[in-house]
């Protein structure tokens, strides 16, 4: 395709590198340095998208992130991306794009018939209908299907994203946001003052608004000089293609760098995007301003564009989107645009809503042949698939037509309604904005923040030299706040001649909407072009009382589209202000929410997906488990051996065999995942005495004790054994699941409640491995493998430990049993764990040692009636679990007061019981228990917590929480699985199914 | 008389260029005295006022809202509606709401867009499986629909889900009657209908204190002057503790930021609501096409409606983990609300130490779904001076007696 709108000369494109792209099957020829939008315009494409609701034809509207119209599908297959703004998509050879939200295509779109429905589908119409003739939701849901299909914008991708993303944490003294003149000046100044600076710019090039100025002018020289200065500063880091999307508490900024978004496929091992989390001491917000559109009938036609966007296309991309241009403004900034357009070869008529315009502005233009219309505005754009003319009128002070209209033929309408400073980040920090009458914009309330400074257009500073100065001062002040050094000379260039015509903030007439005398328009006049919100919708919202900004926004959906109101905000407010006869700030402003521009979800996830979604914790003997064919199970971050199938065993066969083996011979389970906390200090015993329900002050060195903790409201929190290793040195264990929670809880108590206690708590979960050796031959095995310790029953009874060595490795051997068998726990430093484990197995061969997994461990503890997670579920009390006997009656402890609240002490609470299930199928945890006689009353009596097949009892058993449980031993109950619709019967028994006297573990 | 909303009125008004629509509700000056004042113009407060007027014959009612109605959590939530809670007491109140949801649009003559598209809870561990199993069983008992799905059935409902992720999806529980509604419409629909029955909706009116005489409330101080009332209902969600302090007592409530986000809109891709407590990912798609994603509450108490970005990172990680195809979708807006959380994650509907002063709060991370039910039983409680039987178990007493209705013990968040 030829590039009919490409200028012969100029631009910041690389004419040596011609490229080709596709849009909707058409080939676009372009150059490197183009955006997709500039290429579309260069190639004379007018209709590039369709409106959201009415499917009206739309063209490129802006040249930046604020683009409301030119949203496209990018790429195909797994790298497909919806809703890409063509104005910021960097051109590359082979780029594929298509139109979206249109069928069969954007040039001809069937859904454009919606325009016929336009009278019916104004703001909030859906709240008033689709309710259906009868009660219920059926009619709505029927309609909703069609509404959903019609809504949405692009198509989501349908396969997983193949690209990688990563996260970086960065720290600096001064973060400069925005690489326009103010930002560059700030970075230079802060850097020269000695601060460590990070400068972020969303564009691929530095320069900001300077890039839209004529190539080769004085501003270019200034820009080059600044870039050169920055290049020479090794304390300034510059990141381009990087958008700061959010500002958070404690001066944390989130930014996304589009590292390889400008190519089809990122190079191998390179991330497509990188998420930066930046902690800074000071920040300078030099985020610029976005031009404001004007509102008039059919202002959405392809060929209506922002004035400075047109200037950008001319100067930066060497594209002149129209030959006969009507330029409408209410401020000074359009004058320089007009001059550039004429120089590029266009014929320009300039309409200024202001009646009197200073001579220094219009004189130079007159000399260039620009036709001037002071006091005029555009009433309507002519043309349906593109602009063919502008209907212009003299305006009164409200923007209403005064006198007859006339039509100027043109192929482009460029508009400037002043500018909106980009104050999103300021607002996100919760800082106040103040309405500035002169520039008609919400500005950062100076001095409100001590760590965030503003400079340049973000401050409504329309003059380039002024922006450079503001940047310099902000950079200096920010650096000074960090380094404390004052009076450092900095060296920021200035332009010799001020670019006088640019200062939009100097003299702006607050007219944005142009209507007929009666306030109506000649066709839809859009306030929010992307969401198809017209003036009439704002009027309707007003009529119906949706007048507060948030109501207005939500009722009409103004500002809720992907541009999040960057163009529509002030214009909507202004209309509402006019209708209510209030000033704009009286109507209010909405708070800005992150992100500033939409950011890829994948970038925020970074590499934390798949296997890295959560850290994986492996015990020191993990490899052995894998080598020995263990089937692993997730336990929080841990992977634990679930069971070790032998010869094609199922899980049920395997765990039953393993459990039986433990009761007969000896088994070892890897218990390294237990939480382990070193509790140390002179007040350690006192501390334990307060957090555990039982007494701890008299525990001797060499002993250990089972303990239970309560939440302060008296509910059971966790349990575990704690050993006293030395005078002030205790070794606590917690359940695997609660390890981190308990550590946090203990720290919390020490740091807030009992700051006087001299105790340190340190996690040593990773430092030690723990193996439970259980079974009748446990002692014989350990005797065979240990040296340096007497393990006899007399020397080492339950609840004591000894130090010993296994294969020369020091270990601690706790005598305690979870399985109910004669059992020991071997604690060993993690680095030696594998060696010790292997030695256990080597020596164990003659004792028929077998490993066992968590499933059989569960079976063994259920047989013994020990409680675990399913019973300690955050709702049960000591009494419920049959642990009340542990609680001290004399000392206070965490939870000791509230645990006696009346409902927690009630006798009828469900308590822990055992169930022997009849028949040869197991129960399902969660099934409900019914009284066999009272079932008709429909009241469930309790539920199953943990179930298993008991190899010892040769039947299915379960732990359960049952109302009046202790009084019901011997009673028969029904176990009902409502979901599977099955009923089983069971006998209520003591939860201590097996060896209740503990003969085996004390053997 | 109010304009009735219907396809016909819409057509008629189209012909007159929509010039004839009336305001959805009036903006009256506060009167000197009301029978009942409701503080807080969120969904729960508005619903309370509506049912007071509609069912209890009390129309001399004012709603005092410090900013604009529906601007609190009502306008910030992820709009998940379900009733498959564990305990009987919860099931009763949430399912009462569910019954009201299904006819709410007709009741209010306002399309609240309640759409029972099915709500799926995913289970990622044995523990999750046990939790949904127990909950499913009690749901059945309470007449609440619950279906267990295996991973293949889940894949059918959510074809793009990655079942075999870090924490593989082991199963799920489906409440077909669960779904979403349009939050703004709920607030506006109740407001319009209440207004039509004579309720005064007074916005920009912040309550700053209570007038209490002989242990009974007799009025409120506001930014727009003193207003007397025979009874006062406080429905201020995240700020309920602030109001309780004004009345001279404390509530067992902590206020946390809770965040949510939406993606850019796309054509329909997620049909049901999918929730996963295990990896913490909640997702649905709005009628506009945005993916609506809910995060977990922040770990620190705060009244700032922002919250930490770490929570968002965590949530997004989980979303990408379960739904890798959304990685390239873009997040468009992120926000937070202040949620009022009790230790048992169940609400407080209660009389208070001050006579004639009632509180309805503590809905925390999951009260949107209860809006109609909560307003309904709270209205009856205020009118009768005694808590409605469905509301009675949620009295403040339970924190004294230990009779908690613990919906949170297993999963820290109950949207
Ligand atoms: C991000 C997020 C996601 C959520 N997701 C869900 C979900 O998916 N499903 C679900 O069921 N729930 C969800 N919730 C919870 C739900 O939003 C709330 O429980 C529910 O909306 C509370 O309604 P409300 O009317 O009680 O409170 P609000 O809507 O918060 O209303 C309270 C009102 O009181 C006003 N007020 C406060 N102080 C004063 C004063 N002094 N004077 C006058 N007025 C005052 C406030 O301005 C506010 O308008 C979510 C919440 C959040 C924040």
CB-CB neighbors (< 8 A) of A613 in chain B = 165-167, 279, 317-318, 321
Closest CA to B388 of B375, B377, B397, B379: B377
**Alpha-carbon gap, residue A875 to B344, rounded angstroms:** 9
Report the pLDDT value the prediction gives residue B283, as an integer from 0 to 100.
97
Q: What percent of chain A has pLDDT over 70?
A: 99
Question: Is B287 within 8 Å of A165 when comparing Cβ atoms?
Answer: no
| 0.90 surpassed by pTM | yes
CB distance B93 to B247 below 8 Å: no
Query: What's the pLDDT score for residue B413?
Result: 47
User: Which token pair is A174?
Assistant: 């001064």
Residue contact B134–A158, C-beta within 8 A: no
Nearest CB to A600 within list B110, B318, B328: B328
By Cβ distance, the residue of B146, B321, B403 closest to A609 is B321
Question: pLDDT tens across A598-635, in order?
Answer: 999 999 999 988 889 999 999 999 999 999 999 999 99
Helices (DSSP H) in B158-291: which residue ranges? 183-196, 240-247
B152-171 tens-digit pLDDT: 999 999 999 999 998 999 99
Q: Report the DSSP beta bridge partners of residue A729.
A: A680, A726
Closest in B184, B264, B410 to A153, CB measured: B264
Q: Across the interface, which of B130, B182, B335 has its CB nearest the CB of A926? A: B130
End-to-end CA distance of chain B: 38
Q: How many CB atoms lie within 10 A of CB A303?
A: 25
Instruction: For residue A582, list chain B residues with Cβ-Cβ distance below 8 A.
Output: none
As for ligand 1, residues whose beta carbon falls within 6 Å of it are B 39-45, 64-67, 71-74, 76-80, 206-207, 235-239, 243, 258-260, 294, 337, 339, 363, 365-369, 415
Q: List the single residue in A with minimal CA-CA distance to B287.
A: A148
Cα torsion angle, A210, A214, A215, A216, sign: negative
Lowest mean per-residue pLDDT among A424-428, A495-499, A885-889, B199-203:
A495-499
Q: What does the pLDDT average to over B178-183?
A: 97
**Nearest-atom index, ligand 1, CA of B79:** 8
Using the mean position of ligand 1's atoms as its centre, give its distance from the Cα of residue B81 in Å.
15
Pocket test for ligand 1, best of B43, B237, B275, B360 (most atoms within 8 A of CB): B237
- Are B309 and A157 in contact (CB < 8 Å)? no
pLDDT of residue B289: 96
* A595: preceding bond cis by omega (within 30 degrees): yes
pLDDT band at B2 (very low <50, low <70, confident <90, very high): confident
**8 Å CB contact of B327 and A600:** yes
pLDDT at B133 over 50: yes
Based on the number of CB atoms within 10 Å of its own CB, is A77 exposed (0-12), middle (13-18) or buried (19 or more)?
exposed
Handedness of CA A443, A445, A446, A451 (dihedral sign): negative
Nearest 5 degrees, angle CA A596-CA A597-CA A600? 120
Chosen from A523, A554, A618 to mutate, greatest number of chain B CBs within 10 A: A554
Least confident of A142-151, A180-189, A439-448, B332-341: A439-448
CA of B316 to the centre of ligand 1 (A): 23
Least confident of A286-290, A605-609, B376-380, B405-409: B405-409
Q: How far is CA A16 from the centre of its chain?
A: 42
pLDDT over 90 percentage in chain A = 89
Give the span between the Cα atoms of A894 and A896, in whole angstroms. Answer: 6
Q: Could you give the C-alpha distances from A459 to A216, A443, A474, in angstroms and in order?
A: 27, 6, 12
Residues A859, A946: Cα–Cα separation, whole Å: 9
Q: Are strands A809-815 and A801-806 parallel, antiparallel or unpaired?
A: antiparallel
Residue A442 has pLDDT above 70, yes or no: yes
pLDDT at A936: 55
pLDDT tens-digit series, residues A33-48: 999 999 999 999 999 9
Q: Scanning every residue of chain B, which has its alpha carbon at the shortest distance from the alpha carbon of A937?
A: B141
pLDDT of res. A498: 64
**Which of A854, A856, A852 lies closest to A639, judged by CA?**
A854
Between the CA of A50 and the centroid of ligand 1 the distance, in Å, is: 37
CA of A944 to the centre of ligand 1 (A): 36
B9: which chain A residues are within 8 Å (Cβ-Cβ)? 128
* Alpha-helix residue ranges (DSSP H) falling in B296-368: 309-322
Degrees (nearest 5) of the Cα angle A881, A884, A889? 165
Q: What are the residue ranges of helices labelled H in A805-942?
A: 830-844, 854-864, 902-905
Distance CA A735, CA A721 (A): 10
Residues of B in contact with A248 (CB under 8 A): 306, 308-309
With CA atoms as reference, the chain B residue closest to A611 would be: B166
Residue of A nearest to B100 (CA): A136
Distance separating alpha carbons of residues A679 and B236, to the nearest angstrom? 43
Q: Which residues on chain B are in Cβ contact (under 8 Å) with A554?
A: 75, 184
Residue of B18, B27, B165 with shortest CB distance to A545: B27
CB of A166 closer than 8 Å to CB of A607 = yes
Are A304 and A322 in contact, with CB atoms under 8 Å apart?
Answer: no
Work out the widest C-alpha separation in chain A, in whole angstroms.
113
Instruction: Name which of B10, B162, B326 is nearest A128 (Cβ-Cβ).
Output: B10
Give the β-pairing of A273-285 and A452-454.
parallel
Answer whether B267 sits within 8 Å of A927, measured CB to CB.
no
Query: How sure is the predictor about A504, in pLDDT bands with cuts at 50, 70 and 90?
Result: confident
How far is CA A884 from each of CA A394, A710, A714, A891, B231, rounded to the nearest angstrom?
A: 89, 12, 12, 14, 45
Please give the residue of chain B at the shortest CA–CA distance from A600.
B330
- Determine the distance separating the centroid of ligand 1 and the alpha carbon of B42, expressed in angstroms: 6
A137 to chain B: nearest residue by CA?
Answer: B102
CA distance A556 to A576: 12
Count CA atoms closer than 13 A to A170's CA, side-chain side. 26
Q: How far is CA A705 from the centre of its chain?
A: 44
pLDDT for the residue numbered A953: 96
CA angle, A773 then A867 then A717, to 5°: 110
Measured between beta carbons, the chain A residues lying within 8 angstroms of B135 are 926
Whether B165 sits inside 8 A of A81 (CB atoms) is no
pLDDT tens for residues A178-233? 999 999 999 999 999 999 999 999 999 999 999 999 999 999 999 999 999 999 99
- Write down how long chain A is: 1003
Handedness of CA A646, A652, A657, A659 (dihedral sign): positive
Phi and psi dihedrals of B100, rounded to 5?
-70, -35
Q: Quick check: helix, strand or coil at residue B185? A: helix
Alpha carbon of A263 to those of A74, A90, A92, B295, B327: distances in Å? 11, 9, 6, 33, 18
Q: Which residues of B touch A605 (CB under 8 A)?
A: 313, 316-317, 319-321, 327
Residue nearest atom 19 of ligand 1, based on CA coordinates: B367
Closest listed residue to residue A442, CA positions, set A431, A453, A434, A454:
A434
Say yes or no for a CB contact (<8 Å) between A562 and B327: no
Residues of A within 8 A of B105 (CB-CB) are 131-132, 137, 140
Q: Which two tokens stand for residue A17?
A: 């590198």
| Three-state secondary structure call for residue A910 | strand
Residue partners of B191: CB distance under 8 A and separation at least 6: B24, B25, B41, B46, B63, B69, B70, B201
When pLDDT is cut at 50, 70 and 90, the band that residue A501 belongs to is low
Predicted local distance difference test score (pLDDT) of residue B412: 43
Distance CA(A414)–CA(A583), nearest Å, equals: 27
CB nearest to A605's CB, from B279, B287, B320: B320
For residue B367, the ligand 1 atom closest to its alpha carbon is 19
CB-based contacts of A437, cutoff 8 Å, min separation 6: none
Counting ligand 1 atoms within 8 A of each CB, the residue from B30, B37, B38, B42 with the most, and so the one to mutate, is: B42
Each residue's pLDDT tens digit, A835-866: 999 999 999 999 999 999 999 999 999 999 99
**Residue appearing with tokens 């509301």:** B391
Checking ipTM against 0.85, whether it exceeds it is yes
Identify the CA nearest to A129 among candidates A115, A142, A111, A116.
A142
The reported pLDDT for the residue numbered B257 is 96
Q: For chain B, what's the residue count?
A: 415
Is A129–B19 a contact, with Cβ atoms under 8 angstroms apart? no
φ, ψ (nearest 5 deg) of residue A457: -60, -25
CB contact at 8 A, A930 and A915? no
Residue A474: its pLDDT value, please?
Answer: 97
Give me the residues paired with residue A407 across strands. Answer: A391
Ramachandran class of A806: left when φ > 0, alpha when ψ lies in -120 to 50, beta otherwise: beta
Backbone phi, psi, residue A844, to 5°? -80, -15
Cβ separation of B127 and A869 shorter than 8 Å?
yes
The Cα A384–Cα A56 span in angstroms is 9
Size of interface A-B (CB pairs under 8 A): 313
Residues 6+ apart with CB under 8 A from A948: A655, A858, A859, A862, A863, A922, A956, A957, A958
- Residue A869 CB coordination number (10 Å): 19
* CA-closest candidate to residue A51, choices A533, A378, A514: A533
CA gap A205, A33 in Å, rounded: 10
pLDDT band for A346, please (50, 70, 90 cuts). very high
Each residue of A766-804: pLDDT tens digit? Answer: 999 999 999 999 999 999 999 999 999 999 999 999 999
Quick one: tokens of A513? 């909407």
Q: How far is the CA of B185 from the centre of ligand 1 (A)?
A: 14
Confidence of residue A500 (pLDDT cuts 50, 70, 90): low
The answer, yes or no, to whether residue A15 has pLDDT greater than 80, is: yes
Structure tokens at A373: 């219309």
Distance B90 CA to ligand 1 centre (A): 19
Mean pLDDT, rounded, for A866-895: 95
Q: How many CB atoms lie within 10 A of CB A900?
A: 12
β-sheet bridge partners, residue A680: A729, A760
Q: Give buried/exposed letters for A206-217 (b at 16+ CB in 10 A, else e).
A: bbbbbbbbbeee
Please answer yes or no on whether A83 and B189 come within 8 Å at the CB atom: no
């Amino acid at each position: 395709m030829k590039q009919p709108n490409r200028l012969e000369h100029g631009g910041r494109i690389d004419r040596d590198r011609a490229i080709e792209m596709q849009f909707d099957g058409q080939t676009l020829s372009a150059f490197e340095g183009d955006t997709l939008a500039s290429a579309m315009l260069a190639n004379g494409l007018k209709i590039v998208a369709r409106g959201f609701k009415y499917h009206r034809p739309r063209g490129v509207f802006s040249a930046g992130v604020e683009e409301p119209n030119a949203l496209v599908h990018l790429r195909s297959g797994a790298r497909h991306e919806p809703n890409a703004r063509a104005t910021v998509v960097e051109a590359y050879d082979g780029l594929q794009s298509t139109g979206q939200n249109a069928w069969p295509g954007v040039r001809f779109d069937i859904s454009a018939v919606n325009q016929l429905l336009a009278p019916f589908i104004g703001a909030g119409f859906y709240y008033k209908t689709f309710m259906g003739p009868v009660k219920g939701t059926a009619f709505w849901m029927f309609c909703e299907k069609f509404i959903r299909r019609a809504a949405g914008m692009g198509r989501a991708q349908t396969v997983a994203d193949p690209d990688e993303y990563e996260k970086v944490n960065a720290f600096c003294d001064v973060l400069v946001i925005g690489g326009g003149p103010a930002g560059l000046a700030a970075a230079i100044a802060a850097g020269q003052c000695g601060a460590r600076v990070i400068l972020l710019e969303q564009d691929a090039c530095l320069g900001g608004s300077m890039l839209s100025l004529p190539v080769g002018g004085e501003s270019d020289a200034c820009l080059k000089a600044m870039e050169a200065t920055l290049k020479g500063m090794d304390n300034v880091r510059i990141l381009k293609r990087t958008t700061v999307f959010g500002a958070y508490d404690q001066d944390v900024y989130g930014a996304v760098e589009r590292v390889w978004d400008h190519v089809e496929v990122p190079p191998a091992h390179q991330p497509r995007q990188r998420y930066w989390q930046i902690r800074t001491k000071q920040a300078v917000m030099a985020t610029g301003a976005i031009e404001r559109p004007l509102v008039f009938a059919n202002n959405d036609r392809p060929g209506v564009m922002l004035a400075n966007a047109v200037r950008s296309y001319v100067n930066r991309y060497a594209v002149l989107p129209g030959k006969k241009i009507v330029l409408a403004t209410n401020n000074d900034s359009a004058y320089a645009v007009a001059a550039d357009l004429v120089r590029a070869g266009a014929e320009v008529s300039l309409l200024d809503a202001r009646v009197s315009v200073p001579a220094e502005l219009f004189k130079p233009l007159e000399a260039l042949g620009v036709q001037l219309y002071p006091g005029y505005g555009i009433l309507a754009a002519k043309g349906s698939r593109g602009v063919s003319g502008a209907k212009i009128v003299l305006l009164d002070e409200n923007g209403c037509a005064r006198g007859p209209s006339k039509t100027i033929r043109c192929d482009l309408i460029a508009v400037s309604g002043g500018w909106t400073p980009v104050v999103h980040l300021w607002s996100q920090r919760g800082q106040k904005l103040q309405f500035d009458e002169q520039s008609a914009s919400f500005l950062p309330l100076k001095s409100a923040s001590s760590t965030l400074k503003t400079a340049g257009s973000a401050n409504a500073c329309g003059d380039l030299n002024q922006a450079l100065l503001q940047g310099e001062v902000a950079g200096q002040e920010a650096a000074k706040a960090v380094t404390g050094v004052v009076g450092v000379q900095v060296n920021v260039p200035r332009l010799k001649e001020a670019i006088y015509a640019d200062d939009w903030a100097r003299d702006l007439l607050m007219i944005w909407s142009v209507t007929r005398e009666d306030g109506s328009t000649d066709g839809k006049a859009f306030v929010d072009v992307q969401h198809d919100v017209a003036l009439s919708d704002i009027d309707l919202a007003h009529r119906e009382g949706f007048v507060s900004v948030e109501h207005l926004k939500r009722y009409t959906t103004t500002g809720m589209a992907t541009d999040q109101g960057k163009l529509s905000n002030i214009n909507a407010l202004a209309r509402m202000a006019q209708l209510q006869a209030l000033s704009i700030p009286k109507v209010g402003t909405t708070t800005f929410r992150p992100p500033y521009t939409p950011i890829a979800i994948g970038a925020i996830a970074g590499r934390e997906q798949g296997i890295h979604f959560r850290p994986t914790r492996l015990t020191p003997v993990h490899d052995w488990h894998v080598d020995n064919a263990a089937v692993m199970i997730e336990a929080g971050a841990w992977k634990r051996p679930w069971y070790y199938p032998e010869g094609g065993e199922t899980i049920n066969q395997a765990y039953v065999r393993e459990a039986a083996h433990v009761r007969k011979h000896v088994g070892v389970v890897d218990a390294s995942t237990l939480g382990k906390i070193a509790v140390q200090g002179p007040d350690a015993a006192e501390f334990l005495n307060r957090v555990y329900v039982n007494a701890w002050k008299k525990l001797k060195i060499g002993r250990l004790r089972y303990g239970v903790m309560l939440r302060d409201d008296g509910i059971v929190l966790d349990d575990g054994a704690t050993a006293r290793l030395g005078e002030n040195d205790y070794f606590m264990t917690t359940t695997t699941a609660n390890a981190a929670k308990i550590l946090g809880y203990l720290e919390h108590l020490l740091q807030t409640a009992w700051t006087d206690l001299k105790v340190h708590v340190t996690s040593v979960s990773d430092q030690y491995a723990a193996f439970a050796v259980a079974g009748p031959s446990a002692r014989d095995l350990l005797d065979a493998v240990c040296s340096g310790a007497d393990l006899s029953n007399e020397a080492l009874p339950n609840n004591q430990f000894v130090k010993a060595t296994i294969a020369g490795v020091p270990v601690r051997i706790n005598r305690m049993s979870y399985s109910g068998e004669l059992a020991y726990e071997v604690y060993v430093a993690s680095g030696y764990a594998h060696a010790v484990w292997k030695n256990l197995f080597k020596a164990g061969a003659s004792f028929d040692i077998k490993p066992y997994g968590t499933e059989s461990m569960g079976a063994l503890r259920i047989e013994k009636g020990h409680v675990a997670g399913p019973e300690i579920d955050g709702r049960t009390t000591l009494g419920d679990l049959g642990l009340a006997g542990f609680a001290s009656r004399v000392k206070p402890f965490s939870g000791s007061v509230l645990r006696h609240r009346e409902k927690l002490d009630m006798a009828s609470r469900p308590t822990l019981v055992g169930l022997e299930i009849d028949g040869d199928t197991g129960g399902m945890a969660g099934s409900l228990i019914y009284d066999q006689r009272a079932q008709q009353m429909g009241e469930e009596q309790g539920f199953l917590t943990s179930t298993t097949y008991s190899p010892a009892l040769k039947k299915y058993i379960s732990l359960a929480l049952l109302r009046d449980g202790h009084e019901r031993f011997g009673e028969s109950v029904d176990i009902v699985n409502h979901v599977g619709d099955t009923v089983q019967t069971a006998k209520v028994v003591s939860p201590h199914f097996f060896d209740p006297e503990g003969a085996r573990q004390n053997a | 008389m109010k304009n009735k909303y219907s396809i016909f009125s819409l057509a008629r008004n189209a012909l007159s260029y929509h010039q004839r629509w009336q305001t959805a509700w009036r903006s009256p000056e506060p009167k000197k005295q009301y029978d009942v004042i409701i503080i807080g113009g969120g969904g729960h407060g508005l619903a309370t006022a509506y049912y007071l007027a509609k069912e209890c014959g009390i129309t001399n009612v004012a709603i005092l809202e410090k900013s604009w109605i529906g601007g609190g959590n009502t306008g910030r939530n992820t709009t998940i509606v379900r009733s498959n809670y564990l305990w009987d007491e919860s099931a009763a109140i949430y399912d009462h709401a569910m019954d009201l949801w299904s006819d709410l649009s007709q009741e209010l003559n306002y399309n609240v867009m309640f759409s029972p598209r099915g709500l799926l809870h995913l289970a990622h561990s044995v523990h999750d499986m046990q939790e949904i199993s127990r909950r499913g069983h009690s749901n059945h008992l309470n007449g609440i629909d619950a279906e267990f799905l295996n991973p293949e059935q889940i894949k059918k409902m959510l074809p793009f889900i990655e079942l075999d992720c870090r924490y593989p999806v082991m199963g799920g529980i489906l409440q077909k009657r669960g779904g979403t509604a349009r939050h703004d419409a709920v607030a506006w629909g109740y407001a319009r209908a209440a207004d039509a029955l004579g309720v005064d909706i007074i916005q920009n009116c912040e309550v700053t204190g209570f007038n209490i005489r002989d242990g009974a409330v007799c009025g409120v101080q506001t930014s727009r002057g003193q207003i007397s009332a025979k009874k006062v209902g406080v429905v201020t969600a995240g700020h309920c503790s602030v109001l309780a302090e004004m009345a001279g007592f404390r509530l067992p409530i902590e206020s946390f930021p809770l965040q949510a986000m939406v993606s850019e809109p796309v054509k329909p891709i997620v049909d049901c609501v999918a929730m996963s407590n295990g990896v913490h990912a909640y997702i649905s798609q709005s009628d506009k096409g945005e993916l609506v994603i809910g995060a977990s509450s922040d770990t620190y108490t705060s009244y700032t409606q922002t919250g930490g970005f770490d929570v968002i990172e965590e949530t997004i990680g989980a979303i990408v983990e379960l739904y890798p195809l959304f990685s390239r979708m873009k997040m468009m807006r992120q926000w937070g609300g202040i949620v009022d959380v009790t230790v048992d994650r169940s609400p407080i509907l209660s009389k208070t130490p001050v006579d004639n002063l009632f509180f309805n709060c503590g809905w925390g991370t999951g009260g949107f779904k209860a809006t109609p039910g909560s307003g309904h039983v709270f209205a009856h409680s205020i009118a009768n001076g005694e808590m409605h039987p469905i509301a009675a178990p949620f009295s403040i007493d339970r924190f004294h007696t230990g009779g908690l209705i613990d919906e949170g013990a297993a999963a820290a968040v109950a949207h």
